[in-house]
């Protein structure tokens, strides 16, 4: 290998080393990329970098990120999500495992309307975990269900993960959203089947709400609550996704209408006030700034890696793998899974994928299919210890009697269920490719 190729390898190890000692991700990316780039090809780096930075700053599609974030944070801060969770929980509570089913369904709705894992896990954890434990749910099952359902927003459009994957893989956001629709419902269905099986095989782990408690709620009132709390955010999600997938509006235009719709829903619920708006703007700014800072700081890293011959190294590595294209995809899935134990999804997206992308372009891989496989895989990074963020979020709001071990043990079955969903999309690619082709993307 040439000295530059050794330098590319050293740059990657330096990045991971800085991460392990606690240096923020964005700084680790920028410092390792700048240092290796300057050592490898001198000040020319600074003549190439501005064009890359301008390309990110002027990317119209990325404007959808803060707009979709605003939509989600507004629905969370205005407590619309809390009302929805309470109503669905009452509707499903008569079944063994019914509260768990309600949490999964709410995870689907919150994932489609907020897409923010931290907000979903914290909200659902605060509202349901004490009640689940009080009603006799096994602590590990309750914790695992909350964590897994909270991560559904990573694969259900309009997800920030899907928007960034579309940008990285050079695909339209509409095609990626359409491709994710069926696989995300498949994953939610796998969760639902698991909860039904638990209710059948282990009813003592997931007992139903007592009959006298259910009798206090009339069917008429329940239907009114469903219409009041569930239909408005559901209609907003359908309108936003329908506009994007149907080609009626660009992602940024639909996201702006989604943000406006969230404001209208909060106002109709009587919860739009100065405090809520301030909290929403602060949350939107924080999340968007984090994403864009990492995005900008990844540019010197990726530029240096490509300039130092890193792409050729990766291509040679994949050439040693048996199985051709499918072998390469399996290797990528395994690598992303391992990285998920230590890194967040955005770091994996902007480090691993750009490195390996030329290999799959060479194989003429269907990028839409690959994007959904990657998105499902990245979702597992929120549940895999030691750095699964959904586990940390729940631990922060869990009652004192809930141990860290309960949260970790409860998440493991759902990691297995997510692997099943990845395997289904891998062996049946039409789950991801049928809808985009059917509607002409």
Tell me what pLDDT residue 431 has.
93
Nearest alpha-carbon partner for 96 in 202, 199, 204: 199
Q: How far is CA 258 from CA 69, 133, 156, 195, 334, in A?
A: 10, 36, 15, 32, 36
As a whole number of angstroms, the distance between CA 315 and CA 25 comes to: 26
Q: Domain extents for the chain?
A: 61-296+311-438
Q: Is the peptide bond before 354 cis (omega within 30 degrees of 0)?
A: no
- If you compute the radius of gyration of the chain from its CA atoms, what whole number of angstroms results? 22
As a whole number of angstroms, the distance between CA 173 and CA 201 comes to: 42
| Banded pLDDT at 387 (limits 50, 70, 90) | low
Give per-residue pLDDT as tens, 62-77. 788 888 888 878 877 8
Three-class DSSP category at 130: helix
Three-class DSSP category at 244: helix
Residue 249 DSSP class: S
Q: Which two tokens stand for residue 329?
A: 């995809």
As a whole number of angstroms, the distance between CA 122 and CA 199 comes to: 25
Q: Which two tokens stand for residue 38?
A: 């300057």
Three-class DSSP category at 223: helix
Tell me what pLDDT residue 190 has.
94
As a whole number of angstroms, the distance between CA 70 and CA 82 comes to: 17
Q: With beta carbons less than 8 A apart as the criterion, state whether 418 and 149 touch.
A: no
Q: Which two tokens stand for residue 180?
A: 């994710």
Give per-residue pLDDT as tens, 388-423. 778 877 877 788 888 888 888 888 999 999 999 999
Nearest alpha-carbon partner for 378 in 334, 340, 417: 340
How much is the average pLDDT of 358-379?
89
Q: Which two tokens stand for residue 53?
A: 């930075």
Q: Which two tokens stand for residue 188?
A: 């939610």
Phi, psi for 363 (deg, rounded to 5): -80, -5
Tell me what pLDDT residue 46 has.
67
Q: Is the pLDDT of residue 7 over 80?
A: yes
Q: With beta carbons less than 8 A apart as the criterion, state whether 160 and 69 touch.
A: yes
- Convert 4-33 to b/e letters by CB count within 10 Å (16 or more is b): bbebbebbbebbeebbeeeeebbebbbbbb
Nearest alpha-carbon partner for 120 in 130, 132, 109, 110: 110
* Cβ-Cβ contacts under 8 Å for 53 (sequence gap 6 or more): 296, 299
Q: Which two tokens stand for residue 191?
A: 């969760």
Nearest alpha-carbon partner for 241 in 115, 334, 157, 133: 157
As a whole number of angstroms, the distance between CA 155 and CA 149 comes to: 11
Cα-Cα-Cα-Cα dihedral of 398, 400, 406, 412, to 10°? 20
Give per-residue pLDDT as tens, 254-264. 888 888 988 99
Give per-residue pLDDT as tens, 13-37. 888 788 778 777 788 888 888 888 8
Q: Which two tokens stand for residue 412?
A: 């493991």
Q: With beta carbons less than 8 A apart as the criterion, state whether 86 and 127 touch.
A: yes
Residue 208 DSSP class: P
* Cβ-Cβ contacts under 8 Å for 391 (sequence gap 6 or more): 147, 382, 383, 385, 407, 408, 411
As a whole number of angstroms, the distance between CA 100 and CA 92 comes to: 9
| Banded pLDDT at 245 (limits 50, 70, 90) | confident
Tell me what pLDDT residue 413 has.
92
pTM: 0.80
Q: With beta carbons less than 8 A apart as the criterion, state whether 169 and 143 touch.
A: no
Q: What percent of the chain has pLDDT over 70?
A: 92
Q: Is pLDDT larger for residue 16 or for residue 177?
A: 177
Mean pLDDT of the chain: 82
């Amino acid at each position: 290998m040439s000295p530059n190729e050794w330098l590319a390898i050293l740059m990657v190890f330096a990045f991971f080393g800085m991460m392990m000692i606690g240096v923020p991700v964005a700084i680790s990316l920028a410092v390792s990329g700048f240092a290796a780039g300057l050592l490898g090809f001198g000040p020319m780096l600074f003549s190439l970098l501005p064009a890359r930075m301008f390309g990110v700053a002027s990317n119209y599609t990325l404007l959808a990120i803060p707009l979709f974030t605003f939509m989600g944070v507004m629905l969370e801060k205005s407590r619309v999500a809390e009302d929805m969770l309470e109503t669905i929980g009452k509707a499903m509570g008569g079944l063994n495992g019914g509260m768990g089913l309600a949490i999964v369904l709410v995870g689907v709705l919150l994932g489609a309307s907020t897409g923010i894992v931290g907000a979903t896990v914290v909200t659902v954890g605060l509202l349901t975990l004490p009640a689940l434990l009080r009603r006799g749910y096994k602590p590990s099952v309750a914790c695992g269900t909350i964590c897994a359902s909270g991560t559904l927003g990573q694969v259900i459009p309009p997800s920030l993960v899907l928007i960034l994957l579309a940008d990285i893989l050079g695909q339209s956001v509409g095609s990626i959203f359409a491709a994710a629709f069926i696989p995300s419902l498949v994953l939610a269905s796998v969760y639902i089947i698991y909860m039904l099986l638990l209710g059948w095989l282990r009813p003592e782990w997931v007992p139903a709400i007592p009959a006298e408690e259910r009798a206090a709620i009339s069917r008429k009132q329940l239907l009114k609550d469903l219409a009041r709390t569930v239909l408005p955010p559901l209609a907003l999600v359908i309108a936003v996704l329908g506009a994007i997938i149907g080609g009626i509006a660009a992602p940024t235009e639909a996201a702006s209408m989604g943000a406006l719709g969230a404001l209208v829903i909060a106002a109709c619920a009587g919860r739009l006030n100065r405090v809520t708006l301030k909290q929403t703007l602060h949350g939107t700014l924080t999340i968007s700034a984090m994403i864009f800072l990492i995005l900008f700081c990844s540019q010197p890293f990726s530029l240096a890696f490509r300039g130092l011959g890193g792409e050729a190294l990766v291509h040679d590595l994949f050439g040693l793998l048996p199985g051709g294209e499918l072998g390469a995809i399996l290797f990528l899935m395994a690598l992303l899974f391992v990285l998920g134990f230590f890194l967040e999804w955005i770091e994996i997206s902007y480090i691993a994928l750009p490195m390996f992308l030329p290999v799959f372009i060479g194989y003429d891989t269907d990028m839409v299919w690959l994007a959904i496989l990657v998105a499902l895989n990245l979702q597992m990074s929120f549940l895999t210890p030691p750095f699964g963020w959904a586990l940390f979020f729940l631990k922060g709001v869990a009652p004192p009697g809930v141990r860290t071990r309960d949260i970790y043990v409860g998440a493991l079955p759902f990691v297995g269920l997510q692997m099943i969903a990845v395997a289904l999309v891998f062996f049946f690619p039409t789950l991801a490719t049928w809808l985009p082709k059917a509607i002409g993307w």
